[in-house]
Amino acid sequence: MSLESGSKTWRGMAARLGAVGVLLALSAGLTGCELAAAPCRIASAGLKIVPVVGHVAAAPTDACAEVIDP
C-alpha cells in the first residue's frame, strides 16, 4: 500500500464521517412532530414563491403544518 492510496482511504473515511455528521445534525434538528410537518412546510415554501397567488395557495399547507406542529 503506497502513501497515496492510504491518503485516498483517509479522505474517503473523512467524507463518510462528515456525511454521517450532517445527517445526525439534521435528524436532531427535526425530531418528533417537526419531522412530520416538514413536507407541509416545504410545500408551503414552494407555493409561496409563486407571485400574486402564492401566499393564498399556501394557506392550506400552512394550516397542515400548524395542526401537526403547533
Tell me the Cα Rg of the chain.
Answer: 20
Q: Report domain extents, the chain.
A: 1-30, 31-70
* The predicted structure's pLDDT at residue 5: 52
pTM of the model: 0.51
Instruction: Give tens-digit pLDDT for 11-52.
Output: 777 777 777 777 777 666 656 667 778 888 888 899 898 888
Report DSSP state, residue 69.
-
Distance CA 24, CA 21 (A): 5
